[in-house]
Structure 1
Amino acid sequence: MSSLRAKIQDVFNEPACEQNRGKDAKARKEGCSKPLTPGAAAGGCAFDGAKIVLQPITDVAHLIHAPLACEGNSWDNRGAASSGPTLWRTSFTTDLTELDVVMGQGERKLFKAIREIKEAYGPPAIFVYPTCVTALIGDDIEAICKRAGEKFGLPVVPVNAPGFVGSKNLGNKLAGEALLKHVIGTVEPDDAGPYDINILGEFNLSGEFWLVKPLLDRLGIRVRACIPGDARYFDIACAHRARAAMMVCSTALINLARKMEQRWDIPFFEGSFYGITDTSEALRQISQLLVKKGADPEILGRTEAVIEEEEAIAWKKLAAYRPRLEGKRVLLNTGGVKSWSVVHALMEIGIEIVGTSVKKSTVEDKERVKQMLKDDNHMFEQMAPRELYAMLSEHKADIMLSGGRTQFIALKAKTPWLDINQERQHPYAGYDGMVELVRQIDLAIHNPIWCQVREPAPWDCQPAMKDELPRTKSETATVQAFKKFAGTMADDLGEC
C-alpha cells in the first residue's frame, strides 16, 4: 500500500502543467482533480478510469480480479470501435466469492484464470486489474503476474488502480503508469521512420479517429500508436520510437506524454480534432514537430495544401446549414476537452453558446473557454437537474448537447437533445465529423415532433359545444375529478 501511495503522489505532481508548477508544495501534491469522498463514486472510481484507458487495446485480454459485480459495472463503458480484433469485447473476471476471500484462494484463482485465458485465446498479453476487495485483502498482484508471465511466456501486466484510491481521472493516469512500466519500450520495431507519431488520449469513439487517420496517411504520417483507440499491444510496445506526439485529452494521459518526452525525447502538444480550425491547427503542429525532429520540411507545404483542400470542401458543405442554424442557442453539458473544443467548433458556424459545463476540465481548458466566450457567466462546474430543466423549459436554449444521463431532462422540457458523450452513435472528429455534427444538430432542432409536443393537450383546448346537454350530478363529478387529476399530473410533470 505504501508503494501505491507513493505512486499516486508522483502522479499528482505534474511538472508539465503550468498551473501545477505555479502552486506551493502542499497544493501541488493535491493535484488538479478533486479526490473522491466516501460513497461519491458516481462519476467513476480509479478502477473505472483505468479500465476506460486500457480496454480499447483490442487484442489484449482484460482480466478483472474481483467479485463479479466489479466487471459487470465497468465493462463496455465506452463506445470505442475496433478495426480488427474483438478479444477486448470478451469479459474476463475471476469472480471472487466470499469463500475465496475467507479461505485465501484469491491468488490461486487468479493464476488459474491467467492460464485458462492463455490456453483458450492465446492473446499477445493479459492485463490484470485488482479492485477494492482484492487490494484490501492483500493479494500480491504484481508477484502473480510476474510468475504467470514467466510460466506461460507472455506479458501479464498488473494495473494497480483499485477503486478506493481516488477518482476516475486518477485511474486514467495510473493506467498510463502501467503502460510506461510494463509495455512501452519492451519491443523494438524494425520499421521506425521520421514520420512516426503517437496520438494519446484518443479513444476512437464511434470510430471517429478513422475520419482523421486518412488525412495523416495523405501526408505520409504514420500513427505508430493511438493510445488507446483501436490500439494493438505490439503498437503500444513500440510507441517509444515515435518522433512526436499529440495529446487529445490532457486530463487523462498528460503524465504518459510527459514521461515519454523525458525518457525517449518525444515532444508533444495538446490539440483537438473537433472543428475545422482546430483540426487544421493540429495537422500543422504535428508537421512542425516532425520537422523539428528531422523530417523533410517539404511536409509543411503538403500539409497546407491538404488543409486548404479539405477546408474548402467542409465549408461548402456547411454553407447549406448556416442559414438554418446561425443564431441558434446551444447548452453544452459535458466536460473535459469537449468543454472548449466543441464550443469552438460550433461558434465557427454562428451558433451561440449559452452555457458550457467545465466539470472534469483542466485549468487550461477553462482558460480556453473564457477566451472564446468572453464571459465567465457561461461556464458552470455543475448544474443541478432542476436548474437545467428550468433553463430549458424557459426556452433559453434551442438544443442541449450532453451525455445520456441528462437526456430526459431535455425531453421533459420538450427541448431537442443530442448525445455528445462517449455513447454517441455518430463520429464528430475531423472535417467530415464537423459536418456530421452540424447535420445532427440541424436534424434535432428542426425535427417536426417538437412542434407537436409543444402544442396544448387536447383537453386544454377543446371548445365547448353550444348545444351541450345538461350533465347529471354523477357526470359533473366525473368531469371535475378528471380535471383535478389532469391538473395534478401537469404539476408533477412541471417539477424537476
Structure 2
Amino acid sequence: MSSLRAKIQDVFNEPACEQNRGKDAKARKKGCSKPLTPGAAAGGCAFDGAKIVLQPITDVAHLIHAPLACEGNSWDNRGAASSGPTLWRTSFTTDLTELDVVMGQGERKLFKAIREIKEAYGPPAIFVYPTCVTALIGDDIEAVCKRAAEKFDLPVVPVNAPGFVGSKNLGNKLAGEALLDHVIGTAEPDDAGPYDINILGEFNLSGEFWLVKPLLDRLGIRVRACIPGDARYLDIASAHRARAAMMVCSTALINLARKMEQRWDIPFFEGSFYGITDTSEALRQISQLLVKKGADPEILGRTEALIADEEAIAWKKLAAYRPRLQGKRVLLNTGGVKSWSVVHALMEIGIEIVGTSVKKSTVGDKERIKQILKDDNHMFEQMTPRELYAMLSEHKADIMLSGGRTQFIALKAKTPWLDINQERQHPYAGYDGMVELVRQIDLAIRNPIWRQVREPAPWDCQPAVREELPSTKSEAVTLHAVQELAGTTADDFGEC
C-alpha cells in the first residue's frame, strides 16, 4: 500500500497540467477530481477508470482479482472495437468468496487463475486488477504477478488501482503508470522509422480510429501504438521508439505522454479528430513534429495536399445539410475533449450551441471553448436533471447531445437526443466521421416521431360529431345516452 500511496501522490503532482502548477502544495495533494460520495457509483471508481484505459488492448487477458460483482459491473462498458483479437471480450475473474477471504486463499487462487489462463489461451500478457476487497485484505498482487511471470515465462502486469483510492480519472492515470512501469520499453522493434507516432487517449469507440488511420497511411505515417484503442501488447511494449505523439484526451493519460517525453524524447501535442478544421490541424501538427525529429520536410507539402482534397470532399457532402441545420440549437452535455472539439465541429456548419458541459474538462479545454464561443455564458460545470429538463421542455434547444445516462431526460421532454459518448453506435472522427455526425443530427431532429409525441393524446380530444339528425329513433336514443353518460353534448366535441 505504501507504493500505491506514493504512486497516487506522484499522479496528483502533474507538472504538465497548467491547473496543477497553479495550486499550492495542499491543494495539489487533493488531486483534480471531486472526492467520491460513499455509496454512489455514478461516475466510476479508480478500478473502473483503469479498466477503461487497458481493456481495449485486444490480445491481452484481463484478470480481475475480486468477488464476481466487481467484474460484472465493469466489463465491456464502452464501445471500443477490435480489428483482430477478441480475447479482451472474455471476462476473467478469480471470483473470491467469503470463505476465500476468511481463510486467506486470495493469493493462491490468483496464482492458479493465471496458470489456467496461460494454459487455455496462451496470451502475450495478463493484466491483473485488484479491487477494494483484495486491496483491503492485503493480498500482495505485485509479488504474485512477479512470481507467476517467472514461473510461466509470461508478462503478468499488476494494475494497482483499487476502487476506493479515488475517481475514474485517477484510475485512468494509474493505468498509464502501470504501462510505464511494466510494459512500455520492454520490447525493441526491428522496423523503427522516422515516421512512427503514438496516439494516446484514443479508444477507437465504434471504430472511430479506423476513419483516421487511412489518412495517416496515405501520408506514410505509421501508428506505432494507439493507446489503448485496438492496441496489441507488443505494439505498446515498443511504443518508446515512436518519434512523436498526439494526445487525444489529456485528462486521461497526460502523465503517460509527459513521462514518455522525459524518458524517450517523444514530443507530444493535444489535438482532436472531431470536425474538419481540427482534423486538418491535427494532421499538420503531426507532420510538423515529425519534421522536427528528422523526417523529410516534403511530408508537409503532401499533408497540405491531402487536407485540401479531403476538406473539399467533406464540405461538398455537408453542403446538403447546411440549409437544413442552419440555426438549429444544440445542448451538449458531455465533457473532456468533446466539450470543445464537438462544439467547434458543429459551429462549422452553422449550428448554434446553447450550452456545453465542462465537468470533465481541463483548464485548456475551457479556454478553447471561450475562444470558440467568444464568451463563457454557455459553459456549465454541472446541470442537474431538473435544470436539463426545464431547458429542454421550454424548447431552448432543438436537440441534446450527451451520454446514455441523460437520454431519458430528453425523451421525457419530447426532445431529440443523440448519443455522443462511449456507448454510441456510429463513429464521428475524421472527415467522414464529421459527415456522419451531421447526418445523424439531421435524422434525429427530423424524425417524424417527435411531431407525433408532441401532439395531444387521443384521449385528450375527440373526433368531431357531424351536425345531422339521427335517421331513426333508436339512433337518437343511443346518441342521447352516450352524451348523457359522458356529461357532454355534441357542441362540446371538436377536432383534435
Q: Which band: TM-score by shorter chain?
A: over 0.9
Note the C-alpha offset of 1:468.
Answer: 11
Note the C-alpha offset of 1:387.
Answer: 1.2
Distance across 2 between alignment mates of 1:188 and 1:483: 88
Note the C-alpha offset of 1:357.
Answer: 0.9
Residue equivalent to 1:123: 123
The runs of 5 or more residues in structure 2 that have no matched partner are: none
Mark the CA change 1:97 to 1:23 in structure 2 (over 3 Å): closer, same or farther: same
Name the stretch that deviates more: 354-363 or 198-207. Answer: 354-363
* Cα deviation digits, residues 384-442 of structure 1 (max 9, x gap): 11111111111100001011111111111111110101000000000000000000000
Mark the CA change 1:480 to 1:353 in structure 2 (over 3 Å): closer, same or farther: farther
Mark the CA change 1:455 to 1:248 in structure 2 (over 3 Å): closer, same or farther: same
| 1:329 and 1:396 in contact (8 A); partners too | yes
Mark the CA change 1:491 to 1:85 in structure 2 (over 3 Å): closer, same or farther: farther
Q: Which has the higher Rg, Structure 1 or Structure 2?
A: 2
Partner SS state of residue 491, structure 2: helix
Mark the CA change 1:484 to 1:84 in structure 2 (over 3 Å): closer, same or farther: farther
Partner SS state of residue 191, structure 1: coil
| 2:464 and 2:494 in contact (8 A); partners too | no
Note the C-alpha offset of 1:466.
Answer: 6.8
Distance across 2 between alignment mates of 1:69 and 1:167: 19
Note the C-alpha offset of 1:37.
Answer: 3.1
Report % sequence identity: 94
Note the C-alpha offset of 1:32.
Answer: 2.3
Distance across 2 between alignment mates of 1:64 and 1:334: 29
* Cα deviation digits, residues 176-195 of structure 1 (max 9, x gap): 00000000000011100000
Note the C-alpha offset of 1:467.
Answer: 6.8
Distance across 1 between alignment mates of 2:167 and 2:275: 29
| 1:41 and 1:167 in contact (8 A); partners too | no
| 1:427 and 1:436 in contact (8 A); partners too | yes
* Cα deviation digits, residues 38-95 of structure 1 (max 9, x gap): 2233100000000000000000000000000000000001100000000000000000
Mark the CA change 1:158 to 1:468 in structure 2 (over 3 Å): closer, same or farther: farther
Partner SS state of residue 468, structure 1: coil
Distance across 2 between alignment mates of 1:395 and 1:475: 47
Distance across 1 between alignment mates of 2:356 and 2:142: 42
Distance across 1 between alignment mates of 2:12 and 2:486: 55
| 1:275 and 1:430 in contact (8 A); partners too | yes
Mark the CA change 1:63 to 1:393 in structure 2 (over 3 Å): closer, same or farther: same
Partner SS state of residue 494, structure 1: coil
Distance across 2 between alignment mates of 1:9 and 1:158: 18
| 1:68 and 1:93 in contact (8 A); partners too | yes
Distance across 2 between alignment mates of 1:487 and 1:275: 60
Mark the CA change 1:476 to 1:166 in structure 2 (over 3 Å): closer, same or farther: farther
| 1:63 and 1:127 in contact (8 A); partners too | yes
Mark the CA change 1:132 to 1:484 in structure 2 (over 3 Å): closer, same or farther: farther
Note the C-alpha offset of 1:25.
Answer: 2.0
Distance across 1 between alignment mates of 2:488 and 2:404: 28
Note the C-alpha offset of 1:212.
Answer: 0.1
* Cα deviation digits, residues 210-246 of structure 1 (max 9, x gap): 0000000000000000000000000000000000000
* Cα deviation digits, residues 233-277 of structure 1 (max 9, x gap): 000000000000000000000000000000000000000000000
Note the C-alpha offset of 1:450.
Answer: 1.2
Note the C-alpha offset of 1:482.
Answer: 15
| 2:464 and 2:493 in contact (8 A); partners too | no
| 2:335 and 2:360 in contact (8 A); partners too | yes
Name the stretch that deviates more: 331-340 or 134-143. Answer: 331-340
Mark the CA change 1:219 to 1:93 in structure 2 (over 3 Å): closer, same or farther: same
- Is 1:236–2:222 an aligned residue pair? no
Name the stretch that deviates more: 269-278 or 409-418. Answer: 409-418
Distance across 2 between alignment mates of 1:132 and 1:54: 18
| 1:32 and 1:362 in contact (8 A); partners too | no
| 2:244 and 2:267 in contact (8 A); partners too | yes
Mark the CA change 1:92 to 1:299 in structure 2 (over 3 Å): closer, same or farther: same
Residue equivalent to 2:4: 4
Distance across 1 between alignment mates of 2:463 and 2:216: 65
- So what's the TM-score if we normalise by structure 2? 0.94
Mark the CA change 1:465 to 1:285 in structure 2 (over 3 Å): closer, same or farther: same
Name the stretch that deviates more: 462-471 or 89-98. Answer: 462-471
Residue equivalent to 1:159: 159
Partner SS state of residue 273, structure 2: coil
| 1:325 and 1:350 in contact (8 A); partners too | yes
Mark the CA change 1:319 to 1:99 in structure 2 (over 3 Å): closer, same or farther: same
Mark the CA change 1:109 to 1:455 in structure 2 (over 3 Å): closer, same or farther: same
Mark the CA change 1:162 to 1:474 in structure 2 (over 3 Å): closer, same or farther: farther
Residue equivalent to 1:394: 394
Distance across 2 between alignment mates of 1:10 and 1:189: 30
Mark the CA change 1:473 to 1:211 in structure 2 (over 3 Å): closer, same or farther: farther
Distance across 2 between alignment mates of 1:36 and 1:203: 25
Name the stretch that deviates more: 314-323 or 481-490. Answer: 481-490
Mark the CA change 1:493 to 1:268 in structure 2 (over 3 Å): closer, same or farther: farther
Mark the CA change 1:474 to 1:49 in structure 2 (over 3 Å): closer, same or farther: farther
Distance across 2 between alignment mates of 1:386 and 1:189: 54
Mark the CA change 1:368 to 1:27 in structure 2 (over 3 Å): closer, same or farther: same
| 1:331 and 1:353 in contact (8 A); partners too | yes
| 2:18 and 2:363 in contact (8 A); partners too | no
Distance across 2 between alignment mates of 1:236 and 1:28: 30
Distance across 2 between alignment mates of 1:495 and 1:146: 78
1:95-106 aligned at under 5 Å gives the runs 95-106=95-106
| 1:246 and 1:286 in contact (8 A); partners too | yes
* Cα deviation digits, residues 288-319 of structure 1 (max 9, x gap): 00000000000000000000000000000000
Moved >6 Å (runs of 4+): 466-496
- So what's the TM-score if we normalise by structure 1? 0.94
Name the stretch that deviates more: 450-459 or 201-210. Answer: 450-459
Distance across 2 between alignment mates of 1:388 and 1:486: 39
Mark the CA change 1:415 to 1:151 in structure 2 (over 3 Å): closer, same or farther: same
Mark the CA change 1:486 to 1:428 in structure 2 (over 3 Å): closer, same or farther: farther
| 2:56 and 2:88 in contact (8 A); partners too | yes
Partner SS state of residue 194, structure 2: coil
Distance across 2 between alignment mates of 1:483 and 1:372: 62
| 2:206 and 2:426 in contact (8 A); partners too | yes
Mark the CA change 1:474 to 1:128 in structure 2 (over 3 Å): closer, same or farther: farther
Distance across 1 between alignment mates of 2:19 and 2:489: 51
Distance across 2 between alignment mates of 1:379 and 1:139: 45
Mark the CA change 1:259 to 1:470 in structure 2 (over 3 Å): closer, same or farther: farther
Mark the CA change 1:296 to 1:472 in structure 2 (over 3 Å): closer, same or farther: farther
Distance across 1 between alignment mates of 2:88 and 2:481: 57
Residue equivalent to 1:208: 208
Partner SS state of residue 245, structure 1: strand
Note the C-alpha offset of 1:456.
Answer: 1.4
Mark the CA change 1:487 to 1:242 in structure 2 (over 3 Å): closer, same or farther: farther
Note the C-alpha offset of 1:491.
Answer: 27
Mark the CA change 1:374 to 1:142 in structure 2 (over 3 Å): closer, same or farther: same
Note the C-alpha offset of 1:373.
Answer: 1.5
Aligned length: 496
Distance across 2 between alignment mates of 1:402 and 1:493: 42
| 1:14 and 1:31 in contact (8 A); partners too | no
Mark the CA change 1:174 to 1:91 in structure 2 (over 3 Å): closer, same or farther: same
Partner SS state of residue 377, structure 1: coil
The runs of 5 or more residues in structure 1 that have no matched partner are: none
